[in-house]
Structure 1
Amino acid sequence: MKTLKVLTLLAMIVVVSAFAVNTIDAVVDGYKVGDTATDFSLKNVDGKMVSLADYPKAKGFVVIFTCNSCPFSVANEDRIIALDKKYKNQGYPVIAINPNNPELKPEDSFENMKKRASSKNFTFPYLFDEGQEIYPQYGATKTPHTYVLQKTDKGNVVRYIGSIDDSSRDESAVSSKYVEDAIDALLANKEVPVTNTKAIGCSIKS
């Protein structure tokens, strides 16, 4: 009887462990290139709720998980502004999302997001992932972490995931502009030359 109880307990542990691993993998993995991203509704720094459906004329989106506190994000802010300026009118607006928990990173509170957006004159929405529900769906792990989506009949399909370019801290050293190359290819109805790169930045605080 004792042996049976031990075997039953071990079997339960295996089942629970397998479920836990699968759940963690599902959260960490997130979207892959070719997946269709679901829409979201998040609060912008102007207090309004924003979703991808609010852009009926868009051809796609540049969704960037970023924040106030990470030096890598700060180093990329001007590049993010430039991306929006260059591609918004061509149909690929930037949608920035702060995924961090402000209890762990007070610099990333909603009030500080509003101040940052104002001081940098952000030309794009800067959304707060309240409850941290959206970034796990995407599989974002860093700030910044970038996703280029293409609007299709099937929905917003992920075409690129990774870094903005190949120089995370020094814009003057950039030689490969991954996001720009991806959008240029999509606008020309061509295959994206590089679909995945490693996102380099600070870990998301949850």
Structure 2
Amino acid sequence: MQIKKLFAQESISIIAVSPNYEDAILPDELAYSDLGDSFEEMKKRAERKKYNFPYLYDGKEQNLTKKIGVKITPTVFLYDKNRNLVYEGKIGNHETPNRMEASDLFQNIVKNLSGTSGKIKRTKVFGTSIKFQDDLPIAEKVLARNARETVKLTQADERKLSFYLTHKTYKPKLFYVWQAEDKECRDNLVKLSSVYKIFRKRGLR
């Protein structure tokens, strides 16, 4: 979005693409956002962040994703006015996203506009592997394994409650109080189980 604003006076088009096959995404891969990769969630993300560029969904057929051969997100492809590829790789340093001098994409846009881009430049990409339909069997095995997991119930005596409430940890702790008579008890516990399987690798207890 920042790059789009910086080059607002130039004839540059920026297009973002959501490439993942939704059903092949593993639960823990959803732990870095409150939104997934479905078309409906993609629309919510675009509205929330107020994207100032087109945001395309390619997750169902993945025609564009396969055509350009991208394997990892985020990956950027920069083309000149003749539609020739001049840069492929990372956006920049993810630790300093607002420093344009550290952005490979920004620097290559500047070079391209000045006519000094030269031959195609490629940089190593750091990110997450794109999920394709071929990855679906792996996701199905993980979901089947998760479905076989059991829950251990113990008596919530005063000593245990005191420990959980006062134990200092930098990891998030989630408490859900319920009773068997609650009509929504089962549905809520199923949802709670799904949330836990998404965030447990990040330390949720």
TM-score (normalised: structure 1): 0.54
Question: Superposed, which structure 2 residues align to 1:22-171 within 5 Å?
Answer: 81-105=1-25, 107-129=36-58, 130-152=60-82, 156-165=83-92, 167-171=93-97
Which amino acid in structure 2 is aligned with residue 187 of structure 1?
A: L
> How far apart, in 2, do the equivalents of 1:137 and 1:196 lie?
18
Amino acid at match of 1:128: Y
In 2, distance between residues paired with 1:139 and 1:100?
13
Give the deviation of 1:178 after TM superposition.
1.1
Q: Which has the larger radius of gyration?
A: 2
Cα displacement (A) at 1:111: 0.2
Unpaired stretches in structure 1, ≥5 consecutive residues = 1-80
Aligned length: 122
- TM superposition shift of 1:169: 4.0
Query: What do you get for the CA RMSD once the two structures are aligned?
Result: 2.2
**Where in structure 1 do 4 or more consecutive aligned residues deviate above 3 Å?**
172-175
Structure 2: unaligned runs, 5 residues or longer: 26-34, 133-205
Q: 2: distance between equivalents of 1:197 and 1:143?
A: 13
Structure 2 distance, partners of 1:204, 1:185, is 29
Distance 2:100 2:88 in 1: 18
User: How far is the alpha carbon of 1:86 from its aligned partner?
Assistant: 1.6
**SS of corresponding position for 1:107:** coil
Write the deviation string for residues 180-203 of structure 1: whole angstroms up to 9, x where unpaired: 111111111112588110111110
Residue 151 of structure 2 is matched in structure 1 by none
Q: Secondary structure at the match of 2:116?
A: coil
The answer as to whether partners of 2:72 and 2:129 remain within 8 angstroms in 1 is: yes
Give the whole-Å Cα distance in 2 for the aligned partners of 1:145 and 1:103: 21
Aligned partner of 2:94: which letter? S
CA contact (8 A) 1:104 1:205 kept: yes
